């Protein structure tokens, strides 16, 4: 074998090994979710593969099955928490409502602002951009405490609408900056041509430019969805009974022990939508993650 072949084989080998290291925690988590409890808590043999796969953990967490209906081998049955404590269906619905609504809200109002910042030259537009950017760098903890009081006074605490607003708030800066970078890619002559033909600014935006940045809007929406779907801190502070999935999962850790079967089942289920979406927007991912600063 020539040295080039050896090098290329070695590079494959190292690359695959590294990628496997990064995939391993997810795979391990997924594997745990279908293990019977005796295999999860087996401390004499940590790496077990010869177990009987079970879907009881999914039955309880995402299908609403009763813990008592499943085999005694599911769940560690040590908590005193009632039936339904591990039912994640409500959380899945809440997370979906919140993620979808905040995505639509954040993307649509950011579209308007992004178009104006890209096309209408006005005094202070640079300052406005900086203000938006600084919102992205704001630690959520700095607004969360007053937000709890404001939400309480407005009756928004522990409501879907309240978290939708909160998630929209953190998604706006990201969505706006990405969308502006997509609008900047469209030549201004396009607008000018439409306006010479008698279109108003809004018609020009809605009928001419918007269709040209469809891909960018889709990518932005996907990123907003993922941010909302995975968000933890705001949901934790602003709710008591409505639990998004990330917050719900943390309640499975109790002082008497952690229900690893249920945690891994709901956790694995929560990862799947993100996986599908991120594969759809691979081409715009870098632009999204750098808020339009790097175009790919």
Partner 1 sequence: MSSRALLPRWLTSEHPLPWLFPVTSLLLVFGLYPILYSLWLSFFKRNPATRKEKFMPSYNWEKLFSDDRVWDAIQITFTYAFIALALQLILGLAIALLLDSDKKGYGVLRALMTLPLVVPPAVTGMMFLLMYDSSFGVISNALYSLNLLSPSAPILGTGSTALWGVIVADTWQWTPFMVLIMLAGLRALPKEPFEAAAIDGASSFQSFIFLTLPMMSKIIALAVLIRGIDLFRIFDYVKVMTDSGPGTATETLTAYAGTVYFKSANFPYASTVALGTLILVLLTATLFIKVFKVRF
- What residues form DSSP beta bridges with 258? 253
Q: Which stretch binds partner 1 (CB under 8 A): 52-60, 65-73, 76-84, 135-143?
A: 135-143
Asked if 40 touches partner 1 (CB under 8 A), the answer is yes
Asked if 262 touches partner 1 (CB under 8 A), the answer is no
Asked if 296 touches partner 1 (CB under 8 A), the answer is yes
Q: Which stretch binds partner 1 (CB under 8 A): 55-63, 69-77, 81-89, 117-125?
A: 117-125
Asked if 62 touches partner 1 (CB under 8 A), the answer is no
288's CB contacts (< 8 A; 6+ apart) are: 174, 178, 219, 220, 222, 223, 281
Asked if 49 touches partner 1 (CB under 8 A), the answer is no
Give the nearer residue to partner 1 in terms of CB position, either 66 or 246: 246
Give the nearer residue to partner 1 in terms of CB position, either 68 or 275: 275
Asked if 63 touches partner 1 (CB under 8 A), the answer is no
CA atoms within 13 A on the CB side of 152: 8
Hey, which bits of the chain come out as E strands?
A: 253-254, 257-258
Q: Give the C-alpha separation, 282 to 289, whole Å.
A: 11
For the CB of residue 75, give the shortest distance to partner 1 in the complex, in Å: 16
Pick from 12, 68, 78, 215: which binds partner 1 (CB under 8 A)?
12
Query: Under rule CB under 8 A, which residues in 141-170 are in contact with partner 1?
Result: 141-147, 149-150, 165-166, 168-169
Asked if 76 touches partner 1 (CB under 8 A), the answer is no
Pick from 6, 7, 9, 18: which binds partner 1 (CB under 8 A)?
18
Query: Under rule CB under 8 A, which residues in 264-293 are in contact with partner 1?
Result: 264, 267, 270-271, 274-275, 277-279, 282, 285-286, 289-293
Do residues 238 and 170 lie in contact, with contact meaning Cβ atoms separated by under 8 Å?
no
Q: Give the C-alpha separation, 55 to 70, whole Å.
A: 10
Burial of 16 (0-12, 13-18, 19+ CB in 10 A): exposed
Query: Under rule CB under 8 A, which residues in 209-248 are in contact with partner 1?
Result: 226, 229-233, 236-237, 245-247
Give the nearer residue to partner 1 in terms of CB position, either 57 or 168: 168
Q: Give the contact letters, 87-116, x = binds to partner 1 (CB under 8 A), - = no.
A: ----------------------xx-xx-xx
Do residues 125 and 197 lie in contact, with contact meaning Cβ atoms separated by under 8 Å?
no
Give the nearer residue to partner 1 in terms of CB position, either 196 or 279: 279
Asked if 140 touches partner 1 (CB under 8 A), the answer is yes
CA angle 6, 10, 15 (to 5 degrees): 150
Burial of 276 (0-12, 13-18, 19+ CB in 10 A): exposed
Q: Concatenated DSSP letters for 147-207?
A: HHHHHHHHT-TTSHHHHHHHHHHHHHHHHHHHHHHHHHHS-HHHHHHHHHTT--HHHIIII
């Amino acid at each position: 074998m020539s040295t080039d072949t050896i090098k290329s084989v070695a590079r494959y080998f190292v690359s695959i090994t590294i990628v496997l290291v990064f995939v391993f925690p997810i795979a391990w988590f997924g594997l745990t979710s279908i293990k019977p409890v005796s295999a999860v808590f087996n401390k004499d043999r940590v790496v077990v593969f010869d177990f009987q796969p079970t879907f009881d953990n999914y039955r309880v967490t995402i299908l609403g099955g009763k813990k008592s209906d499943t085999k005694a081998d599911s769940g560690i049955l040590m908590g005193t928490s009632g039936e339904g404590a591990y039912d994640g269906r409500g959380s899945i619905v809440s997370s979906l409502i919140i993620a979808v609504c905040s995505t639509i809200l954040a993307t649509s109002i950011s579209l308007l602002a992004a178009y104006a910042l890209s096309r209408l030259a006005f005094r202070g537009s640079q300052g406005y951009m900086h203000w938006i950017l600084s919102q992205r760098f704001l630690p959520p903890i700095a607004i969360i405490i007053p937000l709890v009081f404001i939400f309480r006074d407005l009756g928004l605490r522990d409501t879907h609408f309240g978290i939708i607003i909160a998630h929209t708030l953190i998604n706006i800066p990201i969505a706006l900056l990405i969308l502006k970078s997509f609008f900047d890619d469209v030549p201004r002559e396009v607008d000018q041509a439409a306006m010479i033909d008698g279109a108003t600014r809004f018609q020009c935006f809605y009928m001419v430019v918007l269709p040209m940045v469809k891909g960018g809007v889709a990518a932005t929406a996907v990123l907003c969805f993922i941010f909302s779907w995975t968000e933890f801190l705001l949901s934790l502070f602003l709710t008591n009974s409505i639990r998004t999935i990330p917050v719900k999962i943390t309640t499975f850790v109790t002082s008497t022990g952690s229900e690893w079967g249920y945690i891994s089942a709901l956790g694995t289920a929560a990862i799947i939508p993100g996986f599908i979406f991120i594969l759809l927007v691979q081409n715009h991912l870098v632009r999204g993650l750098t808020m339009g600063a790097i175009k790919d």
